């Protein structure tokens, strides 16, 4: 049985937080059926009818809350085209799922908008439906709302009619065939702004905020143009709304034609939003617009294929930003943000394959996202490098054109690539998406040969016999200064490369492959790093692979620091941001803090002296982003010049003077770290008076940086009492990686767990994922015992608990 068309009519009430409605579903059953089963959750029904010979007849029905189904009994067995009509009533909840309310303040009074968030399976909270991506249908949406409110859905408005009594009916044009999780409707006091060049692109925000959407509109238009040109398939809807929502559990959601965002990821505030924030806004907008093709036009036939949506959106978001802003070096951001994130997650025993086998449900959470998004995007980069950019593009066109308005699975993508390429894509890619983990290649010199041997890489010991088909790219550096590139497909456990009398051979040249490399001598690359004859990507990869071996216990932190002396003249964003992050991680989890802090302080002070402490408008985007990270890290490592500069800037800020947005985050963090109770008061007042969600996020990050116990405890209580549920995780997770707060956070977590469990599950997972690996280091036995019994009570948290306990074990081994 398949749906053909839904006609949904809803009347939301923003005073009572309820809605009434009805839906007519035209469906087709090729064989006789006696019952129609739809998905439903938290909806009350009073009538279900079936159209028989142009008349609707009532049918008995029942709801199964456990299975989340509405079962409608038909008067007789029926087949062919069927139409059911259902009347119901539901709630506009506060769970940031389904049809929910989001609060804001206007003229000192609370106001609400109502919006939807349906992925993965929450459309059933708003209307009964076949709530699975495979069950595509057309949608006719009609909303009855107050005259003073605006209504938004996936398509543009077909008609608007006053009904009297302060109500109006808004009908939207019929959608293309689409999955239920992509349906959207919203009601509220939205303020709209059209892009001045492409009227299809429009923003929607709360009153007074539309001026801050100009930056987003500009990049939304550019992203749309890029996708239409690259995929060679026109965007099929008449409009694309970019909608800022105050309360939002995710970063953004790709509803077809009505994309929703957290406010700080859409609104740009002059003098407040840093250049790093602008980059993040562009990346998120591009990600969601890529989804209009990957996910919306072609949807996954089952949730196990969700990676077909998210991997492409992740990968092409960086393509789009790099295309329009090449000076931002966004592929460097990709390696550090996406590939490194995937490496860290996938190096655990408790990991998953990109494509879940069998009929298991794939749910996006803090454990699965780094695999589906980060690893998936990194593998697409590997595939493009393997078959070439032009063949990659042709394959994607073939895939999208063949499956438009339909659903697809992984095999469809491989067939599309093989239709335009001579390469055996299927065999290679199956080894990557069908099994968990990733390889490390051990490169061992034997005269004129380099012997490569692959094995699974994990931070804790494993006895896996897994192998992968690995596209190997290697640069051979000859004694005469020439460089020769070798490309080969490693199909077996070992591969031998002929490198002659080369000085050294850099495996995974350009860092296109999703694997690590272990050399018998990393030091052999020292001169190439110092002279910068290796690319920034390869300089990043060498030290990052070495630090992975530190985490697995093969290499000491002292050996890593010694290797980093080769980076004493480093200027590039990518290796420096990675080194700073690795040093901070080691500072948190090892017992060699002084050695790490002294080394890091010296290195970072040299970089800050070189680029300057004060931002310059004409400087590179990467310099601006790097400074903010390094300034705070230097302060934590005890740098007097960094602390003196940032503290002076914070005093300026407290006096009401402006501070450059590109250093505002690190200045606020330093102000909290060195501040007293008066500073705590200032942050609370600043948070409550701020009208910018971006600034509020900076403040929330800063209040996680207090040094003394009383301020830390006060901040924790303030977060629980005052901060909106959507943002509580921001300061709390940051406190759990604040070296001064860590000693207190385990006891605080245990004593406040009942309040924390009320958070959105996705956000509460982040708390668990932070408290165990870091706060558990000094309380390991208590933490392990506590969570062993905890997952019996809360089995839905088992995955995040298991992987977090494994991270804890890795950290404990780093101390031995």
pLDDT in tens, 699-733: 999 999 999 999 999 999 999 999 999 999 999 99
200: left (phi over 0), alpha (psi -120 to 50) or beta: alpha
Same domain, 788 and 754: yes
What is the rounded CA–CA span in Å between residue 269 and residue 52?
58
CATH label of the domain that carries residue 477: 2.60.40.1910
Which residues, in sequence order, are CB contacts of 779 under 8 Å at separation 6+? 746
CA distance 148 to 131: 32
Distances from the Cα of 265 to the Cα of 242, 276, 580, angstroms: 11, 11, 25
| Strand 439-446 with 449-456, pairing | antiparallel
Stretch 129-142: mean pLDDT = 98
pLDDT band at 360 (very low <50, low <70, confident <90, very high): low
Strand, helix or coil for residue 310: helix
pLDDT above 90 covers a percentage of the chain that reads 96
pLDDT of the residue at 364: 79
Tell me if 260 is assigned to some domain. Answer: no
Separation between Cα atoms, residue 543 and residue 805, nearest integer Å: 26
Instruction: Indicate whether 331 belongs to any domain.
Output: yes
Residue 359's pLDDT band (boundaries 50, 70, 90)?
low
- Measured CA to CA, the distance from residue 584 to residue 554 in angstroms comes to 19
Give a yes or no: residue 263 inside a domain: no
Region 66-86 average pLDDT: 97
Residue 340 forms part of a structural domain? yes
Name residue, tokens 């015992």. Answer: 785
Average pLDDT over residues 567-592: 97
Give per-residue burial for 53-86: e unless 16+ CB within 10 Å, then b. Answer: eeeeeebebebeeeebbbbbebeeeeeeebbbbb
Pairing, β 167-172 against β 138-146: antiparallel
Instruction: Give the three-class secondary structure for 207.
Output: coil
Question: 53 or 236: which carries more pLDDT confidence?
Answer: 236
Question: Of 108, 124, 149, nearest to 39 (Cα)?
Answer: 124
Q: Is residue 281 part of a domain?
A: no
Cα torsion through 176, 181, 182, 187, rounded to 10: 110
**2-13/138-146 β-pairing:** parallel
pLDDT at position 365, please?
Answer: 81
363 has pLDDT over 90: no
Contact 250, 107 (CB under 8 A): no
Question: Environment class of residue 314 by beta-carbon count within 10 Å: exposed (0-12), middle (13-18) or buried (19+)?
Answer: buried
Q: Of the residues 142, 283, 288, 355, which is catalytic?
A: 288
- Domain boundary among the residues 379, 403, 433 is at 433
The residue out of 388, 416, 433 marking a domain boundary is: 433
Dist. CA 707–CA 400, nearest whole Å: 53
Both 553 and 469 in a single domain? Answer: no
Q: Compute how many other C-beta atoms are within 10 angstroms of the C-beta atom of residue 465.
A: 8
* Residue 237 in tokens: 């809807």
Q: Is 283 a catalytic residue?
A: no
Confidence of residue 692 (pLDDT cuts 50, 70, 90): very high
Same domain, 387 and 504: no
| Torsion of Cα atoms, 649 then 652 then 658 then 659, to 10° | 10
Q: Based on the fold, state whether residues 416 and 448 are members of the same structural domain.
A: no
Distance CA 328, CA 766 (A): 29
Average pLDDT over residues 297-316: 96
Rg (CA), the chain: 28
| Same-domain check for residues 708 and 790 | yes
For 166-188, write each residue's pLDDT tens digit: 999 999 999 999 999 999 999 99
Is 243 a member of any domain?
A: no
Nearest CA to 572 among 331, 315, 338, 344? 331
Largest Cα–Cα distance of the chain, in whole Å? Answer: 89
20 and 145 share one domain: yes
Q: Note whether 372 and 505 are same-domain residues.
A: no
CATH of residue 342's domain is: 1.10.390.10
Is 546 in the same domain as 488? no
Task: Report residue 107's pLDDT band, with 50, 70 and 90 as the boundaries.
Answer: confident
- Percent of the chain having pLDDT more than 70? 99
Q: Where does a domain end: 474, 494, 520?
A: 520
Q: What is the pLDDT of residues 392-419, one digit of tens each?
A: 999 999 999 999 999 999 999 999 999 9
Q: Transcribe 620-645 into DSSP letters.
A: -HHHHHHHHHHHHHHHHTT-HHHHHH
The yes-or-no verdict on residue 119 having pLDDT over 80 is yes
Structural domain for 496, as ranges: 438-520
Going from the C-alpha of 378 to that of each of 373, 545, 622, the distances in angstroms are: 8, 16, 21
Residues 355 and 500 in one domain: no
Distance CA(509)–CA(498), nearest Å, equals 16
> Are 130 and 184 found together in one domain?
yes
* Mean pLDDT computed over 600-620: 97
Looking at residue 766, which CATH number applies to its domain?
A: 1.25.50.20
Alpha-carbon distance of 74 to 55, in angstroms, equals: 14
Over range 277-297, report the average pLDDT: 99
Q: Does 681 reside within a domain?
A: yes
Task: Specify whether 72 is located in the same domain as 122.
Answer: yes
Mean pLDDT for 492-509 is 97
Question: Is residue 387 within 8 Å of residue 487, measured between CB atoms?
Answer: no
Q: Strand 18-39 and strand 516-519: pairing?
A: unpaired
Residue 43 and residue 431: Cα distance in Å, rounded? 44
Split at pLDDT 50, 70, 90, the class of 524 is very high
- Same domain for 688 and 725? yes
CB 294 within 8 A of CB 309: yes
Q: Which pLDDT band, with edges at 50, 70 and 90, does 361 fall under?
A: low
C-beta of residue 339 within 8 angstroms of C-beta of residue 331: no
Q: Classify residue 267: in a domain, yes or no.
A: no
3-state secondary structure 440-475: EEEEEEECCEEEEEEEECCCCCCCCCCCCCEEEEEE
pLDDT in tens, 260-286: 999 999 999 999 999 999 999 999 999
φ/ψ of 692, rounded to 5, equals -115, 120
When divided into structural domains, the chain yields a total of 4
- For the sheet with 483-490, list strands across it: 483-490, 470-477, 504-507
pLDDT at res. 356: 82
């Amino acid at each position: 049985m398949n749906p053909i068309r839904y006609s949904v009519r809803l009347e939301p009430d923003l005073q009572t937080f309820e809605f009434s409605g009805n839906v007519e579903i035209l469906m087709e059953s090729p064989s006789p059926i006696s019952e129609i089963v739809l998905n439903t959750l938290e909806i009350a029904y009073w009538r279900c009818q079936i159209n028989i010979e142009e008349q609707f007849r009532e049918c008995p029905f029942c709801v199964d809350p456990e299975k989340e189904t509405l079962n409608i009994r038909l008067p007789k067995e029926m087949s062919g085209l069927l139409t059911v009509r259902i009347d119901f009533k539901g709630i506009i909840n506060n769970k940031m799922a389904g049809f929910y309310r989001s609060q804001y303040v206007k003229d000192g009074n609370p106001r609400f908008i109502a919006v939807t968030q349906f992925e993965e399976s929450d459309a059933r909270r708003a209307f009964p439906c076949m709530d699975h991506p495979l069950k595509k249908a057309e949608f006719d949406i009609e909303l009855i709302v107050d005259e003073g409110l605006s209504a938004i859905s996936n398509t543009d408005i077909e008609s608007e009619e006053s009904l009297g009594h302060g109500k109006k009916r808004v009908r939207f044009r019929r959608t293309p065939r689409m999955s239920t999780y992509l349906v959207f409707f919203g009601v509220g006091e939205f303020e709209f702004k059209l892009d001045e060049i492409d009227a299809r692109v429009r923003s929607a925000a709360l009153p007074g905020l539309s001026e801050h959407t100009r930056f987003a509109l500009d990049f939304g238009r550019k992203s749309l143009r890029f996708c239409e040109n690259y995929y060679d398939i026109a965007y099929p809807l008449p409009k694309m709304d970019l909608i800022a929502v105050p309360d939002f559990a995710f970063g953004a959601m790709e509803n077809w034609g009505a994309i929703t965002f957290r406010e700080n990821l859409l609104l740009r505030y002059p003098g407040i939003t840093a250049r790093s924030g602008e980059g993040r806004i562009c990346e998120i907008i591009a990600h969601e617009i890529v989804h209009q093709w990957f996910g919306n036009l072609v949807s996954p036939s089952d949730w196990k294929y969700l990676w077909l949506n998210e991997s492409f959106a992740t990968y092409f978001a960086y393509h789009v930003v790099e295309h329009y802003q090449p000076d931002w070096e966004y592929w460097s951001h990709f390696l550090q943000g996406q590939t490194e994130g995937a490496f860290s997650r996938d190096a655990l025993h408790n990991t998953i394959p990109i494509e879940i086998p069998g009929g298991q449900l794939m749910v996006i959470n803090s454990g699965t996202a780094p695999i589906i998004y980060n690893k998936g995007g990194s593998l697409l980069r590997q595939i493009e490098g393997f078959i070439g950019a032009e063949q990659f593009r042709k394959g994607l066109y073939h895939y999208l054109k063949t499956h438009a308005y339909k659903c697809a699975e992984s095999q469809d993508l491989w067939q599309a690539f093989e239709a335009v390429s001579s390469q055996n894509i299927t065999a290679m890619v199956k080894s990557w998406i069908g099994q968990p983990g990733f390889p490390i290649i051990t490169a061992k010199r034997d005269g004129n040969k380099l012997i490569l041997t692959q094995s699974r890489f994990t931070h804790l010991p494993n006895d896996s016999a897994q192998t992968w088909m690995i596209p190997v790219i290697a640069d051979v550096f000859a004694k005469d200064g020439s460089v020769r590139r070798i490309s080969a497909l490693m199909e077996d456990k070992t591969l031998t490369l002929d490198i002659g009398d080369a000085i050294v051979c850099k495996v995974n040249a350009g860092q296109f492959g999703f694997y690590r490399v272990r050399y018998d001598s990393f030091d052999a690359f020292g001169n190439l790093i110092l002279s910068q004859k290796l690319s920034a990507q390869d300089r990043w990869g060498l030290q990052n692979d070495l630090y992975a071996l530190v985490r697995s216990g093969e290499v000491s932190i002292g050996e890593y620091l010694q290797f980093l002396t080769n980076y004493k003249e480093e200027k590039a964003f990518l290796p420096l941001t990675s080194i700073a992050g690795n040093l901070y991680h080691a500072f948190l989890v090892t017992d060699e803090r002084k050695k790490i802090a002294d080394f890091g302080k010296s290195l970072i002070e040299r970089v800050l002296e070189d680029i300057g402490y004060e931002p310059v408008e004409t400087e590179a985007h990467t310099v601006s982003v790097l400074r903010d990270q390094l300034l705070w890290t230097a302060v934590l490592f005890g740098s007097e010049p960094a602390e003196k500069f940032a503290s002076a800037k914070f005093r300026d800020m407290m006096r009401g003077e402006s501070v450059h947005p590109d250093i505002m985050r690190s200045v606020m963090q330093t102000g909290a770290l060195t501040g007293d109770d008066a500073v705590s008061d200032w942050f609370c007042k600043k948070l409550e008076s701020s009208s910018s969600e971006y600034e509020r996020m900076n403040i929330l990050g800063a209040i996680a940086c207090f040094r003394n116990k009383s301020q830390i405890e006060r901040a924790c209580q303030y977060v629980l009492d005052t901060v909106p549920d959507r943002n509580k995780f921001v300061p709390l997770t940051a406190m759990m990686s604040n070296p001064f707060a860590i000693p207190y956070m385990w006891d605080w977590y245990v004593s406040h767990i009942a309040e924390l469990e009320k958070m959105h599950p996705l956000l509460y997972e982040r708390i668990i994922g932070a408290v165990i690996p870091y706060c558990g280091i000094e309380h390991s036995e208590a933490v392990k015992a506590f969570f062993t019994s905890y997952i019996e009570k809360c089995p839905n948290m088992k995955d995040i608990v298991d992987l977090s306990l494994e991270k804890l074990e890795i950290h404990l081994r780093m101390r031995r």
